Amino acid sequence: MDLDLTPFLLSFKLAGMTTLILFFIAVPMSWWLSQSRCRCKPFVEALVSLPIVLPPSVIGFYILVALSHNSPLGAFFEETFGITLVFNFTGLVIASVFYSFPFMVQPLQGGFESLNKNMLEASYIAGKSKLVTLIKVALPNIKPALLTAVIVTFAHTVGEFGVVLMVGGSIPGETKVASVAIYEFVETMNYGEAHIYSALMLAMSFTVLLGVYLFNQRYSRRFGVHT
Amino acid sequence: MIQIQITKTLSKSLKLEVDLNIAPHSFLAISGESGSGKTTLLRILAGLESAEGVINVSDDVWLNKQINLPPQKRHIGFVFQDYALFENMTVLENLLFVAPQKELANELLEMCDLTALKTRYPSTLSGGQKQRVALCRAMMRQPKILLLDEPLSALDPKMRTNLQHNILALHKRFKTTTIMVSHDPSEIYRLADRVVVLKDAKVVKDGSPKEVLLQTQGSHKFSIRGELLEIVQADLIYVGVVSIGQQIVEVVMDAQEADNFSVGETVYINTKAFSPSLSKITD
């Protein structure tokens, strides 16, 4: 049997890009959430966490509506840049960024909140700006949370199904990621390939998670910090 | 001269009101019960909390109606009770993060006996070592004012004495104005040249450590505060059990006194008939 690895490569490409984009959005966002006493904070937090509770089909539907060429946004991109935002890889990345947002924000926010406030204040007193404090003091001291956020976001994007199917369809080599491919194998009663793909997914997911937890255990032993 | 005239509402019934002039290069201790606003005062000086009023440090305005300098611009050193070291940096890196001056860093580490530990991470140090690093880190800023928030309260007595020497040495070497929150009378007596006592967020006592701390009452020669733990009747007399510091002592009371006092009360033990004497501890 000739194993086509394209869906896997597509899954990892999607997860990698989503994680990278989310990192740069989520770090400032979670830093702000952890430091803010703004009254609007609960609203922002609720909004960020929505993808955890909403059915993927609902998110997929709204993204589809918002990005399709019938919407002002979709029309704008199509006319100005000649880019279509749905049923292609770009659309998948945009949808995944929304869908995986809380998985990046929440561990980071938790990490920032667990930092000793006095340590951050000591940095301000030393004359360092908030940005320098974030980069040189806050981020290096939440390494376990940082790793958890990155890995969970990556893994969650690899494991995504509903949103991808709705926004991307199942175009081979473009939007047909591993989870969608497995679904199609099962639908066409091709259990053999479904088994292989599923087992691969299972093994990879477990290995990645095990790696994260091993790292966190060693880190907390070495530095005596809580993860 | 450092001029502090500030007010801040702490709660509905509590308003911090402080009006102090502090001479340059002096060592001021702030004492008082917990909740009396000591730490808040320190944090206002550092710019970590807002307040209304005026703070002038020599010719610089730190706070008035228009200006409220952020902590970054105040040139202060701050030592926290819980050290607050940068856990991701070695001892030396903690110091150099504040200012990239290796000579100063090495001098400070030498003064505080930390040279051998300079490549260690904070999590591998003892409490006393961490607090010495925190002290050195605060001095790297070459602060106009050094603020110490109960810096020694988490340390054992022997370590405290060592650190008191370090604090005094640094205070003298860098000619800073030092303001320290402390509960410990012996510490205040040893280090400070002036004590301010806060109660309910107001200054209630202000003077030299000797004036403020020496406990005498009326014509008594000797007064010690303690907590009355128990009143026991023994034949015709009563015995009051009082805890003073870490010790328990007994005091004879008559029936009327036994009636007058209640268990749990804070009391003075007074004497004028005998002169107390010192003896060495031999265990």
Chain A, residues 111-130, CB within 8 A of chain B, namely: 116, 118-119, 121-129
Chain A nearest-CA residue for B124: A223
Chain A nearest-CA residue for B43: A121
Give pLDDT tens digits for A152-165: 999 899 988 889 98
Question: B210: part of which helix (H) or strand (E)?
Answer: helix B209-213
Q: Are B251 and B269 in contact (CB under 8 A)?
A: yes
Q: Is A223 on the interface with B (CB under 8 A)?
A: yes
Whether B88 and A137 lie within 8 Å, measured CB to CB: yes
Whether B86 and A137 lie within 8 Å, measured CB to CB: yes
Q: Is the pLDDT of residue A225 over 70?
A: no
The distance of A4 to chain B (nearest Cα, Å) reads 45
Question: B148: part of which helix (H) or strand (E)?
Answer: strand B145-149
Q: Is the pLDDT of residue A224 over 60?
A: no
Q: Is B121 on the interface with A (CB under 8 A)?
A: yes
| Chain B residues with CB-CB distance to A137 below 8 A | 86, 88
Which candidate in B76, B79, B88, B97 is best for mutational testing of the A interface (most A CBs within 10 A)? Answer: B88
Chain pair A-B, CB pairs under 8 angstroms: 62
Segment A13-39 mean pLDDT = 94
Confidence at A226, pLDDT banded by 50, 70, 90: very low
The distance of A31 to chain B (nearest Cα, Å) reads 18
Question: Whole-angstrom Cα distance, residue B242 to residue B262?
Answer: 12
Whether A126 and B140 lie within 8 Å, measured CB to CB: yes
Which candidate in A117, A125, A135, A143 is best for mutational testing of the B interface (most B CBs within 10 A)? Answer: A125
Question: Whole-angstrom Cα distance, residue B201 to residue B33?
Answer: 10
Q: What is the DSSP letter of A203?
A: H
β partners of residue B69: none
Segment A13-37 mean pLDDT = 94
Give pLDDT tens digits for B86-104: 999 999 999 999 999 999 9
Among B168, B184, B101, CA closest to B135: B168
**pLDDT of B19:** 94
The distance of A140 to chain B (nearest Cα, Å) reads 6
Give pLDDT tens digits for A174-217: 888 989 999 999 999 999 989 999 998 899 888 888 888 888 88
Backbone angles phi, psi at B273, to 5 degrees: -75, -35
Chain B nearest-CA residue for A126: B98
Concatenated DSSP letters for chain A? -----HHHHHHHHHHHHHHHHHHHHHHHHHHHHHH---TTHHHHHHHHHHHHHS-HHHHHHHHHHHHSTTSHHHHHHHHHT----SSSHHHHHHHHHHHHHHHHHHHHHHHHHHS-HHHHHHHHHTT--HHHHIIIIIGGGGHHHHHHHHHHHHHHHHT--HHHHHHH---TTTT--HHHHHHHHHHTT-HHHHHHHHHHHHHHHHHHHHHHHHHHHHHHHHH----
Q: Is the pLDDT of residue A149 over 50?
A: yes
Segment A78-98 mean pLDDT = 87
Question: Whole-angstrom Cα distance, residue B211 to residue A146?
Answer: 55
The distance of B267 to chain A (nearest Cα, Å) reads 37
* ipTM confidence score: 0.81
Instruction: Name the pTM for this structure.
Output: 0.82
**pLDDT of B281:** 78
The distance of A227 to chain B (nearest Cα, Å) reads 14
State which residues of chain B have pLDDT below 70: 215-221, 273-274, 283
**pLDDT of B219:** 62
Give pLDDT tens digits for A38-82: 999 999 999 999 999 999 989 999 999 988 888 888 888 888 888
Tokens of residue B151, six digits = 């810096």
Give pLDDT tens digits for A109-145: 999 999 999 999 999 999 999 999 999 999 999 998 9
Cross-chain CB nearest to B88 (options A122, A141, A224): A141
